[in-house]
Amino acid sequence: MSREEQPLIIEERGRVLILTLNRPRAKNAMSLQLSEELAEAFEILDSRPDLSLGVITGAGGTFCAGMDLKGFARGEIPIVPDRGFAGLVQRPPRKPLIAAVEGYALGGGFEIALACDLIVAADNAIFGLPEVKRGLTANAGGLLRLQHRLPYHYAMELVLTGRMLPAVEAGELHLVNRVTAPGAALDTALELAEEIARNAPLALATSKRIMVESVDWPVGEKFARQHEFVDPIRKSNDAAEGARAFVEKRVPVWTGS
């Protein structure tokens, strides 16, 4: 299969895994095959100690237009057991994930971006959950996540009207971390990824886990539960390496152990 025929292009840049949705003629709409390949890629990301985080983007100037309706008409649903839509939304990877968005991120495409930890978007990008306009509901995490990323009433307006959210407006709302010129979202996302990748991979994954999971922890248990996660990090080889590198005034060499 040629590169042009691959639904998902996987590349590595240092400690960063780059995942490119490669169905540009279908606006990178999510197929079952693409969902399954993404799920496998996230397993690779989490299992390899030489990788610190991932970046997901779309080919052809579009991020993702949602579910592939032609595949749906054939009876295909792009859901992976235990991981959900796109092999992502129900169980994101343990390691950080950045969405680099150009063009449309609609419906399931927006929900993919919401399942990521950071979002970089070109100023011509458009987000939206238009499902109510088609008699449907957003079922891939949009209704569960958006109200925690935006003020409640603003999120509710977007859901109930189904209107489009331009990237510039999303940036003003701090839903997007960086807004770039058209065509520059991936490069900017990789700059951010490389900044993050200079830090210790175990500490990155654990920091993400605590921030995600601690939302539901009882107040009186928060520090005790946090200790369960951070104590092994404090005793890790990378923590010792970080201290040595600081004393020796050099760049640390992380092993992910």
In DSSP notation, 108-165 reads HHHHHHHHSSEEEEETT-EEE-GGGGGT---TTTHHHHHHHHS-HHHHHHHHHH---E
pLDDT class of 7 with cuts at 50, 70, 90? very high
- Contact between 198 and 175 under an 8 Å Cβ cutoff? The reply is no
Mean pLDDT for the chain?
94
**Which tens digit of pLDDT belongs to each residue from 193-229?**
999 999 999 999 999 999 999 998 999 999 999 999 9
Burial of residue 90 (number of CB atoms within 10 Å: 0-12, 13-18, 19+): middle
Residues annotated as part of the active site:
111, 131
Check residue 204 and give its pLDDT. Answer: 96
Percent of the chain having pLDDT more than 70?
Answer: 98
Check residue 187 and give its pLDDT. Answer: 97
The CATH architecture of the domain made up of 3-197 is: Alpha-Beta Complex (3.90)
Residue 51 tokens read as 């990788």
pLDDT class of 1 with cuts at 50, 70, 90? low
**Which tens digit of pLDDT belongs to each residue from 146-190?**
999 999 999 999 999 999 999 999 999 999 999 999 999 999 999
Check residue 2 and give its pLDDT. Answer: 63
Check residue 211 and give its pLDDT. Answer: 94
| Of 99, 115, 94, the residue nearest 209 (C-alpha) | 94
Check residue 4 and give its pLDDT. Answer: 67
In this model, does residue 234 exceed pLDDT 70?
yes
For the residues 67-90, what does the mean pLDDT come to? Answer: 91
- Contact between 165 and 127 under an 8 Å Cβ cutoff? The reply is yes
Residue 163: CB atoms within 10 Å: 12
Burial of residue 243 (number of CB atoms within 10 Å: 0-12, 13-18, 19+): exposed
Check residue 257 and give its pLDDT. Answer: 85
The continuous run of DSSP H or E covering 18 comes out as strand 16-21
**Which tens digit of pLDDT belongs to each residue from 117-155?**
999 999 999 999 999 998 989 999 999 999 999 999 999
232: helix, strand or coil: helix
In this model, does residue 5 exceed pLDDT 90?
no
Higher pLDDT, 143 or 5: 143
Q: How far apart are CA 235 and CA 257, in angstroms?
A: 10
Check residue 70 and give its pLDDT. Answer: 84
For the residues 43-49, what does the mean pLDDT come to? Answer: 96
Rg (CA), the chain: 19
pLDDT class of 71 with cuts at 50, 70, 90? confident
Percent of the chain having pLDDT more than 90?
Answer: 88
pLDDT class of 98 with cuts at 50, 70, 90? very high
